[in-house]
């Protein structure tokens, strides 16, 4: 179904220079989507756009820092200039962390997690929404299992993803009669090079997550595209995540212990 849905569908993807965003772009290019790719790293972003074009898709690269509202507005203006419409917005740009709240030394740096993950999604959605209403399009938010339940060493990250979930759940109700769908995706650990901040606001070691306990990025993106195509409300990607949501209702203490064990074991 998704290969038909996204053929010549104008799709805006934030955080598209690497990881989930890059893989989404490549898979949607295979399906003939018309892509607008946004991220801060202009050179890497252009490489992704070129790879999509070589697959026969249309693609433009728009260097964008989603923390800056004016840049988000400029992104949407550029997409409309190029394609004349927007059918799908995938709010994927994000950064994570790996430090306890007590050890976090750079609280100003940690604020960027909320600015990128939450406000970046809000800004892009704000300016894309009038166009999505015209096309009865799709809004997709890439959240996290930490948006469902708290996880140690992810305090600011979990807060940003909870904020995303609350925002888009509320927006879904507001858009109920417009034809615009809202799909929230909650992956667990995925094999990507996502930026993780350490206690001092620098780059944490990605090797802290064990590779054999992560989902391949290609698998993750196939699920995202399928759920977006079918306008599903929400996707909790892992069995552990689904179990955790249920346990949080009936045995919240148990899910706290499980969350701590998962982080201690590196995934």
3-state helix, strand, coil in the chain (%, to 5): 50, 15, 30
Distance CA 126, CA 166 (A): 16
Q: Which of 172, 163, 125 is nearest to 144 (CA)?
A: 163
Q: Which run of H or E residues covers position 122? A: helix 120-135
Which one-letter DSSP state was computed for residue 211?
G
Q: Which run of H or E residues covers position 235? A: strand 234-236
124 Cβ contact list (under 8 Å, min separation 6)? 12, 14, 38, 66, 72, 75, 76, 89, 91
Catalytic residue among 83, 123, 127, 157: 157
Catalytic: 127?
Answer: no
Which token pair is 257?
A: 């212990």
Q: Which run of H or E residues covers position 53? A: helix 42-54
Instruction: Catalogue the active-site residues.
Output: 157
């Amino acid at each position: 179904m998704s290969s038909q849905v996204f053929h010549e569908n104008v799709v805006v993807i934030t955080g598209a220079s690497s990881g989930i965003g890059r893989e989404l772009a490549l898979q949607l290019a295979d399906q003939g989507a018309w892509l607008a790719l946004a991220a801060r790293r202009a050179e890497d972003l252009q490489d992704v756009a070129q790879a999509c074009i070589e697959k026969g898709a249309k693609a433009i690269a728009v260097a964008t820092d989603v923390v800056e509202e004016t840049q988000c507005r400029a992104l949407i203006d550029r997409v409309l200039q190029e394609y004349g419409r927007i059918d799908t917005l995938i709010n994927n740009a994000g950064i994570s962390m790996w430090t306890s709240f007590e050890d976090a030394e750079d609280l100003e740096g940690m604020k960027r997690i909320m600015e990128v993950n939450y406000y970046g999604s809000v800004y892009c959605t704000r300016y894309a929404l009038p166009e999505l209403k015209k096309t009865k399009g799709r809004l997709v938010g890439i959240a996290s299992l930490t948006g469902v339940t708290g996880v140690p060493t992810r305090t600011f990250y979990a807060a940003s993803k909870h904020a995303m979930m609350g925002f888009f759940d509320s927006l879904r109700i507001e858009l109920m009669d417009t034809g615009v769908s809202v799909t929230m995706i909650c992956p667990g650990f995925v094999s990507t090079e996502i930026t993780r901040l350490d206690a001092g606001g620098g780059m944490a070691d990605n090797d802290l997550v064990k590779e054999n306990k992560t989902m391949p990025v290609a698998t993750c993106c196939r699920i995202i595209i399928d759920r977006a195509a079918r306008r599903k409300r929400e996707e909790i990607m892992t069995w552990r995540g689904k179990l955790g949501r249920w346990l949080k209702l009936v045995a919240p203490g148990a899910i706290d212990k499980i969350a701590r064990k998962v982080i201690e074991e590196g995934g």
